[in-house]
Amino acid sequence: MNARIIVVTSGKGGVGKTTVTANISVALAKEGYSVVAIDADIGLRNLDVVMGLENRIVYNLVDVVEGSCRLEQALVRDKRVDNLYLLPAAQTRTKDAVSPEQMVELCEALRDSYDFVLIDSPAGIEGGFKNAAVAADEALVVATPEVSSVRDADRIIGLLESEGKKSISLIVNRYRSSMVKKGNMLDVTDVSEILAVKLLGVVPEDEAVVVSTNKGEPLSMGYSSPAAKAFRDICHRILGKDIPLKYPDENEGKGFWEGIKSLFRL
C-alpha cells in the first residue's frame, strides 16, 4: 500500500478541522479503505472524543515517538467501522514533544500499511501546524464563510505552498444559505475566488454535527442530515469521483419527519 497522507488544517481555531477529520476518516473507512486518523493537536486532544474512542486510549503519539510503545500498540481500532484507527494525541504534553523529523518517520511507517492517513492539525501557524503538515502530500484547508477565517486560511495556504505542498483544496464549513441570500455572509464563490484553490466541498451549518459530536458518533457513521451528505460527497471527491458541487441549504430537511430521520442511522 502507499497511503495518501492528508493534513486537515485552517489557521483559525474552531472552524471544524476535527469535525472534518473525523467524518472524512469514517466515510473513507466505510468505503472500504483502511484509514488512520492522527490527532496532532498535542495538549488539546479532541479527535478521540469526536470519534467516541476516548475510553479506549492506552498509548499516544508522543509515546510512539519516544519509543515507549510500538506504533501498532498506540492505534485505537474503531469497533464500529472496519479498518478505521485513531492515533491519539498526548493530553499532558506540549507541542514541542514531537519534532518534524519524528512526524515524518511516523507517517512514513504508516504509509506502507494503510490507504489513507488523515492528520488533524491544531489551530495556528506555529510548530504544531508545521508538525501536522510536514509529512502530508495533500492538504484540506477548512474555512468558514467569515472574513477572519478566510484571511487565516489564506495565510495557511501561503505557508503550505511555501512548504512545497502541491495538492491543496478547500472545504467551506458552517455555510448558511439564508444568511448568504440576505447578504450577511460571504458566498462560497467569493471565498473560493479569494483563496484560489480547488473547492472540494461545502458543509452546511447543521445541528446534527453538535449532537453527533456529543455522542461520539461522527455523522458519516450513517446519518442522513445535510452535513452528513456533504461529508459523503467530499469523501467521494477525494476518491476521484465526479460529484457536482452543491451549495447546501441548512434548512433542508428541517420538516418534522426529516428532522427525526436525520437523528437516526440510514
Ligand X SMILES: Nc1ncnc2c1ncn2[C@@H]1O[C@H](COP(=O)(O)OP(=O)(O)OP(=O)(O)O)[C@@H](O)[C@H]1O
DSSP conformation letters of 62-104: HHHHTTSS-HHHHPEEPSSSTTEEEEPPPSSS-GGGS-HHHHH
- DSSP per-residue string spanning 115-142: SEEEEEPPSSSSHHHHHHHHT-SEEEEE
If one asks whether residue 21 binds Mg ion (CB under 5 A), the answer comes out as no
Site string for ligand X, 191-230 (x = CB under 6 A): ------------x-xx--xx--x-------------x---
Separation between Cα atoms, residue 36 and residue 77, nearest integer Å: 9
Sheet bearing 138-143, strands edge to edge: 76-77, 84-87, 35-39, 116-120, 4-9, 138-143, 167-175, 198-204
Binding mask 159-188 for ligand X (x = CB under 6 A): --------------xx--------------
Taking the CA atoms of 223, 48, 81 and 37 in sequence, report the sign of the dihedral they define. Answer: positive
Q: Which of 5, 51, 74, 123 binds ligand X (CB under 6 A)?
A: 123
Rounded to 10 deg, the angle between the 207-215 and 226-238 helix axes is 80
* Residue selected from 3, 7, 11, 18 as contacting Mg ion according to rule CB under 5 A: 18
Among 7, 10, 131, 176, binds ligand X (CB under 6 A): 10
Q: From ligand X, Mg ion, none, which one binds at residue 138 (CB under 5 to 8 Å depending on kind)?
A: none
19: contact with ligand X by CB under 6 A = yes
Size of the site for Mg ion (CB under 5 A): 3
What does DSSP say about strands 138-143 and 167-175: parallel, antiparallel, or unpaired?
parallel
User: Binding mask 30-69 vs Mg ion (x if CB under 5 A, - otherwise)?
Assistant: ----------------x-----------------------
Closest to ligand X by CB, 71 or 122: 122
Q: If binding is defined by CB under 6 A, does position 15 make contact with ligand X?
A: yes
Residues 6 or more apart whose CB falls under 8 angstroms from that of 101 comprise none
Q: Who contacts 11 (Cβ-Cβ below 8 Å, separation ≥6)?
A: 123, 124, 125, 129, 149, 152, 153, 155, 156
Which region, judged by CB under 6 A, interacts with ligand X, from 8-16, 56-64, 180-188, 191-199?
Answer: 8-16
Nearest distance, CB of residue 14 and Mg ion, angstroms = 8
Helices (H) and strands (E) in the chain, counts: 12, 8
Smallest gap from Cβ 18 to Mg ion, in A, equals 3
Q: Which is nearer to ligand X, 105 or 246 (CB)?
A: 246
* 46 vs 173 by CB, closer to Mg ion: 46
Contacts with ligand X, residue ranges (CB under 6 A): 10, 13-19, 41, 46, 123, 173-174, 203, 205-206, 209-210, 213, 227
